[in-house]
Structure 1
Amino acid sequence: MGLKIDPWSFPDPELAATEQGRRSIVLGGGCFWCTEAVYSQLDGVLSVRPGYAGDSKDTADYRTVSTGRTNHAEVIEVVYDAGKIGLGQILKLFFSIAHDPTQKDRQGADVGRQYRSAIFTADGEQKRVAEAYIAQIDKAGLFDDPVATEVVPLEAFYEAEEYHHDYAARNPNQPYIRAVSTPKVEKLKKVHGDLLKAGAKDAAH
């Protein structure tokens, strides 16, 4: 990731959301095993589900999406308590920890439309906050390259097959998880230990 500043200095969004209660947002940041692993650690996050968004129900399965010939992205649905963790923090971690938002239709060695950076918004407020934050990040020149993240309305979220759920937690020694997912989680624990769930905090020490 071509981040020009240290992750401790990554700014909060200047445009804050006014949401309350139980909320959700769908995020695409490469392989959903890795983004799920990051958001599952956070206090205030009620659930994280891997899935697909961007195309039709009849193509929303792993084998078909993995061909790269659909418009689906691998995504996670993050359900959160806005009283504990707001949209601003969710997005801040998305851009600074969970993935590289400057890569188009890929994340590292994972190449294809299904690995694109995307925010699937539930309403107009999420759209305004996300677009304003991207403009803020680009204006500040925080990355070597412009943010490539797409911001689009969520039409439907299709839950992924059961074996993808909690994949990183259940397969910590899998080579891909050790190489790609684990470093993201360790970075989260190091930079944002104050945002972790109690169990995750204990594991971080």
Structure 2
Amino acid sequence: RKTLTLAAALAAAVLTTAKPISADQANPVELGQVRWHRSLPEAVPLAREQGKPIFLLFQEVPGCLTCQNYGHQVLSHPLIVEAIEAHFIPVVIFNNRGGQDAATLKQYSEPAWNNPVVRIVSADQSDLVPRLSGHYSRGGLVARMVDALNKHGSPTPEYLKLLDEELSARDRRTEKSVFAMFCFWSGEGMFGNLDGVIATRPGYLQGHEVVEVEYDPGKLSYENLVDQARRHDMAGRVYARNRDQLRVAEASVGSAAQLVRDPIRPDSEPKYYLAQTPLKYVPMTELQAARVNAAVGSRSDFNRYLSPRQISLFQLIRQNPRAGWQDMIGQPDLIDSWQKVTDTAAALSGNNPA
């Protein structure tokens, strides 16, 4: 009974993202999975009491395809949902209704029947950062959230910093290169720990074990990446993906550099260190997975890269190892992956754990 109680409590923590409580029924698609307050005047004292900024969403409900996509693709991302709920007071204002909604719309001079707009304000209801309008990507929202937390003087959790780094890098455009080494398990571990590396993928190319490295050239130069690989004996061969990379690689490793555009043949056991633990059942972004895999391989703390709900899920999985969890390594859709684990957690909350 004690184990069941623990499992139920952890399951409730994991399920928080999947069960909005802004109304008696589930959120309309335009609102995503966030649990919203519906009144700015009610949110202001909460913001003062909890020392948090207010996350104001002006949204058309029911809304157009842009509004629906924003709810489904951005406001349903589990890490974005968790950050909004944990570090802000979330309030939604329907921009196509009267009453208190219309009053708040007028207060901020926001147009009615509009596409989604986000304003992040302090408890005195003044803007902390410029309003977010016309930019409907995950990266645009997360960058604004991080900026607002900084302006508010609130700490930004590591998992949100990583999400900001990954999304902003992809918005700017990442680059890839491939490195051959004796063992791609250790290769993934080394590259996954480098600042500026966004993702790692092990495999084979020209008969060699390799790691394909996706990196942010605005944060990590290719010259530095090749130098790090060479100094860690991870550059037996360097497969440049364009002629600019080739020139840099030749200057560092000489004839070991080649221009090869062929894709790698993926290995069947990516993120080997992570995959030997129950962490493989925890949905993560590619950058999180790279960092956690490196941390597990070096026996250092991996919790710092995970959100509190991901950590709760990991604890739940350890308590219930035979509950039918699915391997989440390499799963591209975090929203779908999170729904799968919450479905399993929901089943656990009403049954004896395995």
Greater gyration radius: 2
Of Structure 1 and Structure 2, the greater helix share is in 2
- Give the alignment's TM-score, normalised by structure 1: 0.48
Of Structure 1 and Structure 2, the greater strand share is in 1
- Give the alignment's TM-score, normalised by structure 2: 0.29
RCO higher in structure (CA 8 A, sep ≥6): 1
